[in-house]
Amino acid sequence: MNADGSVSVVAHGLGGSADLPIPFTYALIGAAWALTFTFAVVALAWRKPRFGSEKPGRELPPWVTAAVDAPATRWVVGIAGLALAVWVGLVAFFGPQNAESPLPGVFYVLMWVGLVALSVLFGPVWRALSPVRTVHRLLGGKSLRDYPAALGYWPAAFGLFAFVWLELASPDPGSLAAIRIWLLIYLIVTLAGAFVCGARWCARADPFEVYGIVVSRLSALRRNRNGRIAIGNPFDHLPSLPIRPGIVAVLSVLLGSTAFDSFSARPQWRTFIDETAGSVTAATLINTAALFVFAGVVAATFWLAARATGGVDREQRRLLPGQMAHSLIPIVVGYVFAHYLTYLVERGQQTVYLLLGVDADVNYILSLHPSLLATVKVGFVVVGHVAGVIAAHDRALHLLPKTHQLTRSARDDAGDGGLHLHRAVPVVRRVSSGYAGADHHRRSERLLRRRFAGGDARRRSRQRHQRAAGR
């Protein structure tokens, strides 16, 4: 807790565990071999498409769909989500204004990381939990006009960028006041949009709902053509991602922000900020520009790679970036869990205890098993990239003429594999760097407690700038 009422807790800004006992070289070699083997298999042996959203999957018993779709179920879940939002709001404004506040944990851990876990397990749950949707339904569910089709997912992309900006580039990401302001603006904008454009605004412009829709394409649960709930191969579910303007921007923000999180944690970048920025404002502007560049590079690289396809007409080439965008989803999910699994499990416990007013000890079940945790984190990174290569290759076989399938899909796989490995390097480096030694368990617990309670490098850097300005 700082004198200005800020708490040092962020999600992408939480940082990764940098003391896990897997040598970086071993982790990187393993990732490289996994991607190389995947590229060889799909390029040489995978000649026909195997996945498609038209496959029905295994339909669950009819009573499952009936129970999920029952109006009573929808209202109970919606009211529960609204009640939770009201409770969090009361705690945010009238609860503890110090390190005991659960608001940063709710915002950065439960809403950002927990949403991914729930969406992968059960589908787009934010659609049912959204307090904005519930308020809109309670007030009649009407709209003044249709949602402009040209907007697509662009409002959601801007909303997601605003979120990652707050946690990665803003002057004080752990400030309770900053989080409250962000959430108030989010509620005002989404409620106004819902009243003007109806529920379609929530489905296409709400950053959290769009985030949930995107990652839910990796869920084994989905709706078949008859509207029944079915279970099937997630690779068959991935291509069902709606293709609308802004979908590449959404995924680029998610991937680019994670890459910037890894990059900004490097001592070289922190030293550069300290030496270059003469004030807090300058440091914020530099970080903002860098965050934008990272997201832009991901978007430009993916868009150009898709547009460089031969053997298709101009219209098909224009559509290819959106048609291939779903192949980035496994990488997004892999990075989220590789970065924040520890915080979801352990910081999530602390947040729930604070919300309920329970004085209980956090079970550091993952941090106390560092070797297993490091292996799992590296596994998420590697599996996410391998799954992305497979999804891209299979979709290329669906979309391209047979005369161009082998050469183009091989070129896609090689390019995707290289890009994926390049992006994996900083994440794997953070997961695997260093060796903790015999007292790792005690240091790991102390490290987590320090990170949860306050004092990250960016705040210290800001304080140095303020002291320098005072002189």
Tens-place pLDDT, residues 172-199: 888 999 999 999 999 999 999 999 999 9
Q: What is the pLDDT of residues 312-346, one digit of tens each?
A: 777 788 888 898 999 999 999 998 898 888 889 99
In 341-457, the DSSP E strands lie at none
Amino acid 72: pLDDT: 96
What region does 223 belong to: left with phi over 0, alpha with psi -120 to 50, or beta?
beta
List all residues 6 or more positions away from 453 whose beta carbon is below 8 Å from its beta carbon: 1, 8, 99
Amino acid 163: pLDDT: 96
How far is the C-alpha of 318 from the C-alpha of 303, rounded, in Å?
9
Q: What is the pLDDT of residues 100-144, one digit of tens each?
A: 889 999 999 999 999 999 999 999 999 999 999 999 999 988 889
Q: Which of 29 and 150 is assigned the larger pLDDT?
A: 150
List the single range of 88-97, 139-148, 375-384 with lowest mean pLDDT.
375-384
How far is the C-alpha of 403 from the C-alpha of 198, rounded, in Å?
46
Q: Which two tokens stand for residue 160?
A: 């997601």
Residue 161 φ/ψ, nearest 5 degrees: -65, -40
CA atoms within 13 A on the CB side of 208: 22
**Whether the Cβ atoms of residue 202 and residue 133 lie closer than 8 Å to each other:** yes
Average pLDDT, the chain: 81
**Whether the Cβ atoms of residue 221 and residue 122 lie closer than 8 Å to each other:** yes
List all residues 6 or more positions away from 329 whose beta carbon is below 8 Å from its beta carbon: 214, 215, 217, 218, 238, 241, 251, 388, 391
Amino acid 262: pLDDT: 79
Amino acid 278: pLDDT: 81
SS3 content of the chain, % helix, strand, coil (to 5): 70, 0, 25
Q: Which of 270 and 85 is assigned the larger pLDDT?
A: 85
Amino acid 466: pLDDT: 57
**Nearest residue to 260 (alpha-carbon basis) of 312, 298, 222:** 298
Beta bridge partners of 322: none
CA distance to 118, 166, 171, 272, per residue, from 10 (Å): 20, 9, 12, 22
Give the DSSP letter of residue 175.
Answer: B
Three-state DSSP class for residue 49? coil
Average pLDDT, integer, range 434-459: 42
User: Does the structure show a pLDDT above 60 at 458?
Assistant: no
Average pLDDT, integer, range 407-429: 45
**Whether the Cβ atoms of residue 218 and residue 225 lie closer than 8 Å to each other:** no
User: Does the structure show a pLDDT above 90 at 147?
Assistant: yes
The predicted model scores a pTM of: 0.82
**Nearest residue to 171 (alpha-carbon basis) of 368, 467, 459, 471:** 459
pLDDT band of residue 36 (cuts 50, 70, 90) is confident
List the single range of 64-78, 386-400, 435-449 with lowest mean pLDDT.
435-449
Q: Which two tokens stand for residue 252?
A: 């680029």
**Nearest residue to 412 (alpha-carbon basis) of 330, 339, 310:** 310
How far is the C-alpha of 297 from the C-alpha of 300, rounded, in Å?
5
**Nearest residue to 78 (alpha-carbon basis) of 138, 167, 122:** 138
List all residues 6 or more positions away from 254 whose beta carbon is below 8 Å from its beta carbon: 160, 211, 214, 332
**What percent of the chain lies above the pLDDT cut of 70?**
77
Q: Which two tokens stand for residue 435?
A: 């060796």
Amino acid 469: pLDDT: 56
pLDDT band of residue 467 (cuts 50, 70, 90) is low
Q: Which H or E element spans position 221?
A: strand 221-223
Amino acid 360: pLDDT: 86
Amino acid 453: pLDDT: 46
Q: What sign for the dihedral angle of Cα 366, 368, 369, 373?
A: positive
Measured CA angle at 411 (ends 408, 412), to 5 deg: 85
